[in-house]
Amino acid sequence: MNFEPQNPAEIIQLLQEMEAWSRANAAPLPLEEEIKTVWSGIGFRIGKHRFVAPMQHVREIMKYPQLSQVPGSKEWVRGIANIRGNLLPIFDLQGFLSQAITPVRRETRILAIARDKLNAGLIVDEIYGMKHFDQELFDARMQYDVQWRNYMQGGYDINGESWVVFNLNKLIESQDFLNVALK
Residue 16 lies in a domain: no
15 lies in some domain: no
In a domain, 82, yes or no: yes
In this structure, how many other beta carbons lie within 10 angstroms of the beta carbon of residue 48? 8
Q: How far apart are CA 182 and CA 21, in angstroms?
A: 83
> How many folded domains does the chain comprise?
1
Answer yes or no: pTM beyond 0.75: yes
Res 124: pLDDT = 97
Neighbours of 105 (CB within 10 A): 10
pLDDT in tens, the chain (183 residues): 556 667 778 888 888 888 898 888 888 877 777 778 999 999 999 998 899 999 999 999 999 999 999 999 999 999 999 999 999 999 999 999 888 899 999 999 999 998 887 899 999 999 999 999 999 999 988 877 666 778 888 999 988 889 999 999 899 888 988 888 887
Could you give the CA distance from residue 122 to residue 99 in angstroms, rounded to a whole number? 14
Query: Can you give the residue range of the structural domain that contains 121?
Result: 39-178
Residue 113 sits in a domain whose CATH number is: 2.40.50.180
